[in-house]
Amino acid sequence: MMSESEAYPLEQFRKTYFEECAELLDVLQANLELLAAGAGGEETLHAIFRAVHSIKGGAGAFGFSSLVAFSHVLEGLLDAMREQKVDATPDVKQLLLRASDALADIVNAARSERVLPAEFASDILTGMEEVLAGASGATAPASAMSGLESANVAVQGERSYRIVFTPHTEMLQKANEPLLLFRQLRKLGGLTVDANTSRLPAFEALEPEAAYLGWTFVLETGAPESAIHEVFEFVEDDCDLSIVLLHEAAEAVSAATAASATEVAPTAVAAAEPSATVAPTPSQSIRVDVDKVDRLVNLVGELVITQAMLTEQGSLLPVDQYPAMIQGIEALAQSARELQESVMAIRAQPVKSVFARMPRVVRDLAATLGKEVKIVTSGEMTEIDKTVIEQLNDPLTHMIRNALDHGIESPDDRVAAGKPRQGTIHLSAAQRSGRIVIEVSDDGRGLNREKVLAKARDRGLVAAGVNPTEEEIDNLIFLPAFSTADVVSNISGRGVGMDVVKRNVQALGGRISVQSRFGAGSRFTMSLPLTLAVVDGMVVSVGKETFIVPLTAIIESLRPQPSDINPVVGRGDVLALRGEYLPLTYLHRSFAIGSAVTDPCQGIVIIVQSEGAGRIGVVVDELLGQQQVVVKSLEANYDAVDGISGATILGNGRVALILDVARVREIGEKSGVRTITPKEKTIEVREDMTHAA
Amino acid sequence: MQPESQPIGTLGQGNLDGVSVGEHTQQFITFTLGNEEYGIDIMVVREIKGWTETTMIPNAPAHVRGVINLRGVIVPIFDLRARFGVGLTVPTSMHVVIIVAAGSRTVGLLVDTVSDIISVDPKAIRPVPEMGLPSEDQYLDGLVAIEERMVTLVSLAGLFGMATEAKRSFAPDMATTKAA
């Protein structure tokens, strides 16, 4: 039974360990930021210590020796700080921040089974050891640090201990593996083991997950007794343990002295709130597989669709004949909506998990660029769906890099401009009318509009004679292949510009804009939906087909007058709208749909923001109504389709595709390229094709 | 593959009992397209349902008939007749969709009728003779004679370009059909 449980569960534990590590590192990072800002109290330090301690504990069990070694020294330093042997001077805080970055690197290396160079972070290690040495020299011998004790091991003679280890029956269920403990023990010295099988029940009463065996060890070791306790550190609460010194007899020590037991409890760590200068009340939480939650979200989605169908059918019933039925349908609609909101709330997470990674981005990059920058975050407890959070990291990182690289000036330039040497990047999140708004602002040099405009003209993005407004100039930087840095640096100019950020944000159903004052800084504002699983959509028809246009993409919709529509040679039709000319894209042509309305004056033009061509008009037959739809994947069983962002199921059970309006124009142009060169002809040809289809 | 140029008539001497499942037999669901009978491995078949209206996928190849809602899952329907390059099926409520698991995907195959379940000794499966249509070999697995009929066995992997596995994509199919 033992041999079977060795390989597979170990891999499971390992995975869980690294998941926990990621959370612990976030906690560590957030609390260190607090500490560095001077905001954290004693509890902050405790939270930091617990995080490092838990990382170290797991690392020991899995034999990640470099991780153990590093976290051990870090833990030592933190412990000394807790005992006020080391003061939290700015230097020490800085050292801790660097140490936490290094720790994250070491964890990542262990996860991906990479070997870091031997000298990795050795300067940080040395730094921490020096601080520690200074502290222990000044005050009492630092016996609390077992790391220093192990250095003394050689001095002490061999002693033998008798260890009686009796796991509680539920110990194995807490992901503890006795075999690993034994291996740890064996590393300390010569070991003899006797197994105690007296608790083993009859076979039919055997619980496969229960621990029945107990063991008695005799350990010959030069290591101190605390080293033995350390081996059992994580199981102390789940077993009966006695460690008795055989030679030099005398004091028998019981494991019940475990003073640090609370530090081990993982729930306490997970619940540790970084913002808590007040002692936090541990919130009750359980760890649930995301797959299970996703399944729940999907099922509720089904329920909502069925409910929508019932409502649709119910509206056909005469109220006076079926009052109870209609009442029931209304009640169902209400509960279904509430259920959906509650389920979505399970998946919601504070944006903190993404924000917490940004200080490091700033630190690393500021060091590379020789700039002095601090990052201030606010609103990090704002909650947003997990699906969105996962997609947030890239655009956010890019925006921060951009602000640092292009926005914030070098310290000397800043002083010359009468600003503090240190630049500030402010990262904030807030919920506004059903959307989340994230802002990245800096107090750097701001956008140089003249330069931006000159460059845009240079690239033919703005025609000569056209004078865009200040706002329009600022937003030119989101156009593809636009980089204002004179020298393309490898930081934010690596071939991806703000256009990629914009595309990422749009893919999330979001919008991005910039406000800037030359010399005073820029502010990028992104507005995102709270979830990707549900979309507010406009149901439109084209021929016999039904599509959903996300409401957030629609600027307005109208039925034009014939005089508003003008053909432009080689460009298709344009729509005159309040003095502007917007290119028209015919959905029935882009998608080759027959028997659709071909005259925009008979149909509806939806004005949307497209990817490359600014605002465009999309011609559809009819608007059928507004509806909240559950987004389904088309890619799961088919492929990504250009111009389509997903699918949904309507109240009648039929599938409707969700349009990616930003891409619709490109499809129109692409299918044009396929055919004949003169554009007027293409249209004719395509019309023919449509009629034939 | 080394196609032997034997006349088809002499193939499949092993008289197959259509019901019993022997140790080494493989079971196929047979379906028709016009007068031809095809077989598909029963292990990949998830369910069989009547034709329902689909939602078209823009700019998809002709053999992609669109998508349907299969209990909340979006499932694409492929017109097997069109996939074999012998014209589009004009589906009626009498037509049948076979829902199959193609790798990690669930897809539907539009066919005329489903006729039988047959058990075949793998040894009785004959290679498809070379007919000057190299592309077809990829999705035809072999021929088998059942009583007086010949059944062509269809390879799902070949049908969906998954012989190479890698990144599952229907794009290559699109290219071939467009060219045709």
> Under the phi-then-psi rule, with left for phi > 0, alpha for psi from -120 to 50, and beta for the rest, what region is A607?
beta
Which one of A304, A320, A346 terminates a domain?
A: A346
For residue A437, give its domain range: 351-529
What's A238's DSSP letter?
G
Contacting residues of A for B65, CB less than 8 Å apart: none
Asked whether residue A147 is assigned to any structural domain, the reply reads no
Bridge partners, A244 (sequence order): A162, A252
What does DSSP say about strands B45-50 and B96-102: parallel, antiparallel, or unpaired? antiparallel
Nearest CA to CA, how far is A111 from chain B (Å)?
A: 26
Asked whether residue A278 is assigned to any structural domain, the reply reads no
pLDDT at A222 over 70: yes
* pLDDT range class, residue A613, cuts 50, 70, 90: low
Give the up-direction half-sphere exposure of residue B163: CA atoms within 13 A in the CB hemisphere: 12
The string over A581-592, giving b where at least 16 C-beta atoms fall within 10 Å of a residue's C-beta and e elsewhere, is ebbbbbbbbbbb
Nearest CA to CA, how far is A622 from chain B (Å)?
A: 18
For A305, nearest residue in chain B (alpha carbons): B72
Q: In sequence order, which residues have a C-beta less than 8 Å from that of residue B133 and are 6 or more positions away?
A: none
**8 Å CB contact between B68 and B54:** yes
What distance, in Å, lies between the first and last C-alpha atoms of chain A?
Answer: 66
pLDDT tens across A438-486, in order? Answer: 999 999 888 888 888 888 787 777 777 777 777 778 878 887 656 555 4
State the Cα–Cα distance between residues B164 and B158, nearest whole angstrom: 9
Quick check: B55 and A305 CB within 8 A?
Answer: no
Q: Are residues A431 and A489 in the same domain?
A: yes
Q: Which residue carries 């996928």 as its tokens?
A: B57
Q: Residue A293: enclosing H or E segment and its boundaries?
A: helix A290-314
pLDDT at B73 over 60: yes
Contacting residues of B for A671, CB less than 8 Å apart: 59
Closest by Cβ to B67, choosing from A305, A647, A653: A647
Q: Which among B5-14, B17-26, B69-78 has the top mean pLDDT?
A: B69-78
The packing angle between helices A4-36 and A90-111, to 10°, is 160
Which one of A236, A267, A298 terminates a domain?
A: A267
State the Cα–Cα distance between residues A339 and B15, nearest whole angstrom: 59
Bridge partners, B22 (sequence order): none
Strands (E), A37-101: none
pLDDT at A530 over 70: yes
Q: How many Å separate Cα A52 from the centre of its chain?
A: 21
Q: Where are the alpha helices (DSSP H) in A409-525?
A: 411-416, 449-458, 470-474, 498-507
In this prediction the ipTM stands at: 0.75
Q: Which residue carries 């797959």 as its tokens?
A: A291
With an 8 Å Cβ cutoff, the interface of chain B facing chain A consists of: 53-60, 64, 66-69, 71-76, 105-107, 169-171
Q: Are residues A517 and A485 in the same domain?
A: yes
Predicted pLDDT of residue B134: 54
Q: Are residues A365 and A500 in the same domain?
A: yes
- Other Cβ atoms within 10 Å of A528 Cβ, number: 26
Identify the CATH number of the domain in which residue A61 sits.
Answer: 1.20.120.160
* Residue A675 near chain B (CB below 8 Å): no
Nearest CA to CA, how far is B68 from chain A (Å)?
A: 6
State the Cα–Cα distance between residues A567 and A240, nearest whole angstrom: 87
Positive or negative, the CA dihedral A204, A208, A209, A213 is positive
State the Cα–Cα distance between residues A135 and A438, nearest whole angstrom: 43
| DSSP letters for A95-162 | HHHHHHHHHHHHHHHHHTT----TTTTHHHHHHHHHHHHHHHHHSS--TT-HHHHHHHGGGSPPEEEE
Q: Which among A229-243, A244-258, A469-483 has the top mean pLDDT?
A: A229-243
| DSSP letters for A168-231 | -TTGGGGT--HHHHHHHHHHHEEEEEEEE-TT---GGG--TTS---EEEEEEEESS-HHHHHHH
Asked whether residue A66 is assigned to any structural domain, the reply reads yes
Query: Residues B69-80: what's their mean pLDDT?
Result: 90
Quick check: B59 and A642 CB within 8 A?
Answer: yes
pLDDT at A684 over 50: no
Q: Are residues A425 and A325 in the same domain?
A: no
What's B128's DSSP letter?
P
- Which residues, numbered 284 to 313 in chain A, qualify as contacts with chain B under a Cβ-Cβ cut-off of 8 Å? 298, 301-302, 305
Contacting residues of A for B67, CB less than 8 Å apart: 634, 638, 647, 655
pLDDT at A147 over 70: no
Bridge partners, A586 (sequence order): A619
Listed range (A8-12, A150-154, A338-342, B122-126) with the worst mean pLDDT: A150-154
Nearest CA to CA, how far is B54 from chain A (Å)?
A: 8
Contacting residues of B for A663, CB less than 8 Å apart: none
Q: Are residues A224 and A109 in the same domain?
A: no
**8 Å CB contact between A398 and A496:** yes
State the Cα–Cα distance between residues A616 and A643, nearest whole angstrom: 15
* Residue A596 near chain B (CB below 8 Å): no
Q: Which of A637, A658, A661 to mutate to test the interface with B (most CBs of B within 10 A)?
A: A637
Quote the Cα angle for A302-A306-A311, to 5°: 145
Quick check: A638 and B169 CB within 8 A?
Answer: no
pLDDT tens across A313-351, in order? Answer: 888 888 888 888 988 998 998 998 889 888 888 888 888
> Whose CA is closest to A225, among A249, A243, A246, A250?
A243
**8 Å CB contact between A211 and A169:** yes
Q: Which of A541, A585, A635, A639 to mutate to test the interface with B (most CBs of B within 10 A)?
A: A639
Which one of A101, A134, A167 terminates a domain?
A: A134
pTM of the predicted model, to two decimals?
0.53
Quick check: B58 and A593 CB within 8 A?
Answer: yes
* Residue A548 near chain B (CB below 8 Å): no
What percent of chain A stands above pLDDT 90?
7
For A300, nearest residue in chain B (alpha carbons): B72
Closest by Cβ to B69, choosing from A634, A649, A657: A649
Q: Which residue carries 């979309």 as its tokens?
A: A535
Contacting residues of A for B56, CB less than 8 Å apart: 545, 593
Q: Which residue carries 């608007």 as its tokens?
A: A623
User: Contacts by B85-88 with C-beta closer than 8 Å and gap 24+?
Assistant: B85/B177, B85/B180, B86/B33, B86/B34, B88/B62
Q: Are residues A430 and A549 in the same domain?
A: no
Predicted pLDDT of residue A681: 30
Residue B82 three-state SS:
helix
Per the structure, the count of domains in chain A is 5
Quick check: B56 and A545 CB within 8 A?
Answer: yes
pLDDT tens across A256-268, in order? Answer: 333 333 344 444 4
State the Cα–Cα distance between residues A307 and A311, nearest whole angstrom: 6
pLDDT tens across A368-399, in order? Answer: 888 888 899 898 888 888 878 888 888 888 88
* pLDDT range class, residue A672, cuts 50, 70, 90: very low
Asked whether residue A338 is assigned to any structural domain, the reply reads yes
**8 Å CB contact between A148 and A136:** yes
Q: In sequence order, which residues have a C-beta less than 8 Å from that of residue B28 and are 6 or more positions away?
A: B39, B40, B41, B42, B117, B118, B119, B120, B151, B153
Closest by Cβ to A657, choosing from B55, B105, B171: B55
Q: Are residues A460 and A582 in the same domain?
A: no
Q: Are residues A385 and A521 in the same domain?
A: yes
Phi then psi dihedrals of residue A303, to 5 deg: -60, -45
What's A632's DSSP letter?
B
State the Cα–Cα distance between residues A210 and A215, nearest whole angstrom: 15
Quick check: A655 and B68 CB within 8 A?
Answer: yes
**8 Å CB contact between A269 and A280:** no
Contacting residues of B for A666, CB less than 8 Å apart: none
Quote the Cα angle for A423-A428-A434, to 5°: 160
Closest by Cβ to A638, choosing from B56, B67, B72: B67
Predicted pLDDT of residue A380: 86
Q: Are residues A124 and A17 in the same domain?
A: yes
* Residue A634 near chain B (CB below 8 Å): yes
Q: Are residues A119 and A74 in the same domain?
A: yes
**In this structure, what token pair is assigned to residue A527?**
């507005």
Contacting residues of A for B170, CB less than 8 Å apart: 638-639
Q: Are residues A582 and A634 in the same domain?
A: yes
> Whose CA is closest to A426, among A442, A437, A438?
A442
* pLDDT range class, residue B31, cuts 50, 70, 90: very high
Q: In sequence order, which residues have a C-beta less than 8 Å from that of residue A362 and are 6 or more positions away?
A: A373, A374, A375, A400, A404, A425
pLDDT tens across B147-164, in order? Answer: 888 899 988 877 776 433
Say whether domain B8-179 belongs to CATH 2.40.50.180.
Answer: yes
* Residue A132 near chain B (CB below 8 Å): no
Phi then psi dihedrals of residue A580, to 5 deg: -110, 155
pLDDT tens across A514-528, in order? Answer: 888 888 888 998 888
Residue A268 three-state SS:
helix
Closest by Cβ to A654, choosing from B55, B59, B107: B55
